[in-house]
A and B are shown apart, each in its own frame.
Chain A
Amino acid sequence: MSDARAHFDEAAGALVAGGAWHAESAVALPALHGKAVRVLDGAGITALDTNGAWLLLDAAGVHDGAALPELRAFTPQHRALMELVARHADRTGVLPPPRREGVIELTGRGAVAMGGHVAGLLDFVGRLTFELASLVGRPGQWRWREFGAQVRDVFVGAIPIVIGMMFLLGVVFAYLLGDQAVRYGANIFVVDGLLLAMLREVSPVIVAVLVAGRTGAAITAQIGTMKVNEEIDAIATLGLSPLAVLVIPRIVALLIALPMLVFIGDIAGMAGGMLVAKEQLDLSYRMFSDRMLDVIKLKTLLVGLGKAPVFAVFIAMIACRMGMTVSRDARSVGEHTTSTVVQSLVAIIILNAAFAVAFVRLGI
């Protein structure tokens, strides 16, 4: 696409260029094999821009601190452009690529970052506790409007997906359990198994995972973007505490919303099971619900619901802290949002395992 041409005149040590010289003209440069260019001849050049000028000068080795070759037969404008580029060409040498860090260095850096992360989390929890305590002293400072908006977003917005997901999980669980139970004629015990699994493990964990992905990520992205726009600083300038305005309403909203969502998930899961039981196991809705009310223990329900607030506090704290520590660029918002979801999922799994062990030890 370029009509640039150039050849090297060995006798005169001259690089003779012609045509239009711009960034695409590099292909027209002849191989010089280290021969010194003493003269640049621009008589045939019809158009020249800084990229083209630099390519010619670079071929003449100007960036290495070599003296400017004689510029022969350039038009006054082209000569001025060549001289302008030559004045700034000393910085365009080949730089070594940025040093890559070795395994040891990366490990060290990772360890330091992890230490800072844990310290930062402790600091955050401390400041949050302080803020919460001062809020108890001054209940007038409680931000009802923000809190209401958060409950609406976190709770009402999540109901359809929670119902849909738990209903389908109930269908799958009941189907698989029923497939086994029907061989032993133990159809009715599917209700027992499903109830225990749904209320105690599946619903709390799955709903918490959903909320971590849905609300946790949203909280981090929102607070992070506010940080980038200096809105957090603006809140502090108004004499308000960003923790009290942004973080605490979100934590409390999640604390209230998650158990309610888990309860809705319990019902949806059992409803899914009921549907399968009728189709596959010939258990009428009436038989299913009678059996369910016979075997349900308040303890089972409370164990499941009791885990939810703990999950909620961890999700909300991780999400808010990751949002508050975003640095001022777009990539950081993405990284921190990802990190929120990963940390929340890990926290949910670890907490759930800890609960399971603790409940067995306590005989619950």
Chain B
Amino acid sequence: MADAVIDVREVSTTLGGHAIHRGLSLSVARGEVVALIGGSGTGKSVLMREIIGFLRPQSGHIALFGQPVWDATPEQMNALRRRFGVLFQDGALFSSLSVEDNVAAPLFEHTALPRATCRRLARLKLALAGLPADVARKRPSELSGGMRKRVALARALALDPELLFLDEPTSGLDPISARAFDRLIRLLADSLGLTVFLITHDLDTLFSIIDRVIVLSAGHVLGSGTVDELKHIDDPWLRDYFAARSSGREPAHGN
């Protein structure tokens, strides 16, 4: 694929004697919103940490924007880090900074803009993330879980990355906030032309905003495609996974 933003080839990982990935390959094209699903312990978060350069796989090739992650010099890696944003599972906001400074932190560090301008840009990101004006001067500990996630999203967007990694963006949110967060991600992906790679357990997210789903199982990619395509794959885990939803109700707005 010529315009692959994420390119993972033949990655194998062993952690603590357990083989997590066995020759796993996947790629994500520019502008796609892709979800990674799989049972607990299938190495979804491990794979994401490998892609963003936190954890070295035993073997295999990982490239972002055509640049190999694990052969990059520190300078190349820093340049690469400016091109993607990461939303950690619990937000991982800096508790000692105000909300505004949390979002402005990447701008402080990576641009030559005056600090006041960085803060004004931070407030723009907060507005884009759908947060009310009065949160800017608050501390992260004063916000609800859903608001913290939005602040974390605003921080991930601070440098206008082309690629966004989201680790379980809707976990810990009530259904209303979760759907609103889904819509926000889709809106930002469409209007800013983002590529989004997200890990999720949330079936509603899959049915509402995802272009393509990648299923991890037993160390490799079991299948990849739209939700409807995946329903035809004969796999016990996948069957149970979708059964958990269809027994309740039909998708309200599929793709």
Contacts and interface: CB of A to CB of B under 8 A. Distances in A.
Interface of A: 22-24, 26-27, 49-52, 54, 58, 63, 77, 80-81, 84-85, 88-89, 91-95, 98, 327-331
Contact of B120 (A63, A77, A327): A63
Contacts of A331: 95-96
Interface string B144-164: 000000000000010110000
B93 to A, nearest CB: 9
A329 B124 CA distance: 26
A261 B159 CA distance: 56
A92 B117 CA distance: 9
Given A24-B111, A84-B191, A328-B141, A91 B159 contact: no
A92 B121 contact: yes
B252 interface: no
Interface string B77-119: 0000000000000000001100000000001001111001101
Nearest to A51: B160
Contacts of A89: 124, 127
A324 B191 CA distance: 47
12 contacts: A23-B113, A23-B159, A26-B113, A50-B157, A51-B159, A54-B124, A81-B191, A81-B192, A84-B191, A89-B127, A329-B96, A330-B96
B124 A85 contact: yes
A92 B192 contact: no
A92 B159 contact: no
Nearest to B190: A80
Contacts of A328: 95, 141
A51 to B, nearest CB: 5
Contacts of B107: 23
Contact of A49 (B116, B120, B137, B160): B160
B127 A88 contact: yes
Contact of B160 (A50, A77, A91, A327): A50
Interface string B31-45: 000000000000000
A238 to B, nearest CB: 23
The DSSP consensus for interface residues of chain B is helix
B95 A329 contact: yes
Nearest to A52: B160
Contact of A92 (B120, B141, B157, B193): B120
B2 interface: no
B95 A49 contact: no
B140 interface: yes
B220 interface: no
Nearest to B117: A26
Nearest to A54: B124
A93 B120 contact: yes
B110 to A, nearest CB: 8
Given A81-B192, A92-B123, 12 more contacts: A23-B111, A23-B121, A23-B160, A24-B111, A50-B124, A88-B128, A92-B120, A92-B121, A92-B127, A94-B116, A95-B136, A331-B96
Given A49-B160, A91-B133, A98-B137, A54 B121 contact: yes
Nearest to A22: B160
Interface string B235-247: 0000000000000
A93 B94 CA distance: 24
A23 B111 CA distance: 7
Contacts of A58: 120
A331 B113 CA distance: 27
Closest 6 CB pairs of A and B: A329-B95, A49-B160, A88-B127, A331-B96, A92-B120, A23-B111
A215 B107 CA distance: 40
B95 A51 contact: no
Nearest to B118: A23
Nearest to B95: A329
B68 to A, nearest CB: 22
A92 B120 CA distance: 5
A173 B136 CA distance: 58
A89 B95 CA distance: 26
B192 A49 contact: yes
Contacts of A88: 124, 127-128
A97 to B, nearest CB: 9
A8 to B, nearest CB: 19
Contacts of A95: 119, 136
Contacts of A92: 120-121, 123-124, 127
A27 B113 CA distance: 9
Contacts of A330: 95-96
Nearest to A88: B127
B112 A24 contact: yes
Contacts of A24: 111-112
Nearest to B106: A23
A22 B160 CA distance: 8
Nearest to A328: B141
Contact of A91 (B127, B139, B191): B127
Contacts of A85: 124, 128
A327 B139 CA distance: 12
Contacts of B128: 50, 84-85, 88
